[in-house]
């Protein structure tokens, strides 16, 4: 028997080719790899703690806490309409969550996706009102144009960071106000329906609307578009050269630069792709749910996207679970506020708690440092070993 056949019989993987694990093996590796398990446990504990805190708050302020808790926890599944409502609520926060996954993979903290989403909705409104296109083409063109506008807006914090070292978090927050008032200006002076008492745009053309997934509901094809983007972003981050470069500068920008990667270039196109996704999300929201632009305030979906991206640990594959959890909380809080005496705004407290817990990297770092300390002691490189060898008794 030659060496090639022996290697095949022993199932030795070829050099340079990674060994593919079966689903059971991958699950076993996940639960034994503490570097992957510990962040997942922190996310899981954040979810449990936020729910427990919400229930505790309900018992503090509600006159009928048991019924209010039941409405909060079971409201999203008590009626078929609420299930569809939860799926609808997932769509915008899925787009912003995906956009922020890309930003966080590159270790930037920009929140310009809020402006990208809002201006994407404004641009889609202009296209939906003024352009006459065929039914299928109309929303697709609106998504593409809104995505391009969102991508260009997304570049601004990166340019300010590269050119003048401006903090991208501060600049993006300031720019969000600029683009909110700019979008409101366009709606007020160029697209407003003067026959309406409220600030609303002229009605969209019928060809602009996305088809409904389920008849007699508001669940639209934007849900499918969001699912497609989850796959595309996952492939982009983990299966392309550009995604590898984004993850590389996020892990160590100095090493990435030493390896020949242009850090400014990667920062620019990562912000453009993130803004593109946010702009598409704004167009999908307009074409799927509304007959005219009627937002009186910026919906600020970016902050929901922050929670989704943090719960997903920057991995787009887990964005659907994070978006489902957050949408479930919001629908449950809405159902509870309609049926009881607890205001819907209490959900903002829960979201703040989730961000606070997930932002505390010291929780994960504590367990990691403790594990490394034990490993060092067990391997004989700890203080006890040094003392036993005379290293700690210097005179």
The answer, yes or no, to whether residue 316 has pLDDT greater than 90, is yes
Domain assignments of the chain as residue spans, ordered by start: 89-335
Which of 91-95, 250-254, 366-370 ranks highest by mean pLDDT? 91-95
Instruction: Report the pLDDT value the prediction gives residue 21, as an integer from 0 to 100.
Output: 55
394 pLDDT above the threshold of 50: no
Rounded to whole angstroms, how far apart are CA atoms 236 and 136? Answer: 26
Assigned token pair, 198 = 């409220």
Confidence of residue 332 (pLDDT cuts 50, 70, 90): very high
Please report, to the nearest 10 degrees, the dihedral formed by the alpha carbons of residues 164, 241, 318, 104 taken in order.
Answer: -10
- Split at pLDDT 50, 70, 90, the class of 211 is very high
Of all residues in the chain, the percent with pLDDT exceeding 70 is 84
**Closest CA relative to residue 347, chosen from 32, 27, 51, 23:** 51
Higher-scoring residue by pLDDT: 200, 361: 200
pLDDT confidence tier of residue 9, bands split at 50, 70 and 90: very low
Question: pLDDT at position 379, please?
Answer: 73
- The confidence band for 290, taking pLDDT boundaries of 50, 70 and 90, is very high
Choosing among 1.10.287, 3.40.1000, 3.40.50, 1.10.3470, the CATH entry for 89-335 is 1.10.3470
Higher pLDDT, 386 or 217: 217
Top-confidence residue, 49 or 173:
173
DSSP letter (8 states) at residue 17: S
Q: Using the predicted structure, report yes or no on whether residue 386 has a pLDDT greater than 70.
A: no
pLDDT of 280 higher than 50 = yes
For residue 368, pLDDT over 90 is answered with: no
**Residue 265 vs residues 16, 132, 249, 257: alpha-carbon distances, Å:** 29, 37, 11, 11
* DSSP states along 287-355: HHH-SS---SS---HHHHHHHHHHHTTT-GGGHHHHHHHHHHHHHHHHHHHHHSSS-TTHHHHHHHHHH
What's this model's pTM, rounded to 2 decimal places?
Answer: 0.86
Q: Which residues contact 19 (CB under 8 A, 6 or more apart)?
A: 13
Q: Are 283 and 143 in contact (CB under 8 A)?
A: yes
Residue among 308, 285, 131 nearest 207 (CA): 131
pLDDT tens digits, 216-241: 899 999 999 999 999 999 999 999 99
What is the helix (H) or strand (E) element at residue 91, kind and residue range? helix 80-105
């Amino acid at each position: 028997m030659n060496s090639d056949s022996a290697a095949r019989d022993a199932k030795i993987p070829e050099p340079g080719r990674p060994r593919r694990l079966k689903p059971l093996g991958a699950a076993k590796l996940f639960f034994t790899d503490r570097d992957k398990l510990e962040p997942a446990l922190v996310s899981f504990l954040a979810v449990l703690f936020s729910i427990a805190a919400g229930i505790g708050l309900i018992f503090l302020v509600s006159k009928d806490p048991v019924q209010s808790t039941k409405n909060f926890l079971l409201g999203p599944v008590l009626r078929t309409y609420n299930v569809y409502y939860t799926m609808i609520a997932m769509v915008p926060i899925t787009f912003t969550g995906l956009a922020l996954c890309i930003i966080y993979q590159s270790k930037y903290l920009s929140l310009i996706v809020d402006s990208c989403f809002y201006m994407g909705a404004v641009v889609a409104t202009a296209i939906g009102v003024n352009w006459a296109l065929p039914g299928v083409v109309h929303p697709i063109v609106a998504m593409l144009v809104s995505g391009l506008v969102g991508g260009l807006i997304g570049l601004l914090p990166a340019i300010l960071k590269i050119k003048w070292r401006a903090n991208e978090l501060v600049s993006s927050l300031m720019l969000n106000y600029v683009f909110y008032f700019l979008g409101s200006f366009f709606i007020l002076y160029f697209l407003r329906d003067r026959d309406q008492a409220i600030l609303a745009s002229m009605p969209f053309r019928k060809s602009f609307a996305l088809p409904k997934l389920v008849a007699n509901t508001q669940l639209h094809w934007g849900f499918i578009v969001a699912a497609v983007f989850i796959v595309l972003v996952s492939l982009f981050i983990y299966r392309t050269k550009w995604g590898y470069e984004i993850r590389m500068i996020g892990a160590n920008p100095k090493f990435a630069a030493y390896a020949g990667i242009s850090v400014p270039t990667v920062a620019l196109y990562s912000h453009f792709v993130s803004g593109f996704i946010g702009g598409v999300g704004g167009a999908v929201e307009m074409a799927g749910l509304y007959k005219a632009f009627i937002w009186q305030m910026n919906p600020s979906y970016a902050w929901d996207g922050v929670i989704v991206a943090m719960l997903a640990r920057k991995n787009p594959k887990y964005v659907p679970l994070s978006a489902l959890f957050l949408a479930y909380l919001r629908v449950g809080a809405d159902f509870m506020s309609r049926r009881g005496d607890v205001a819907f705004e209490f959900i903002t407290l829960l979201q703040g708690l989730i961000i606070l817990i997930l932002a505390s990297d010291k929780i994960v770092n504590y367990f990691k440092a403790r594990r490394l300390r034990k490993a060092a002691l067990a391997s004989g490189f700890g203080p006890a070993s040094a003392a036993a060898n005379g290293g700690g008794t210097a005179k």
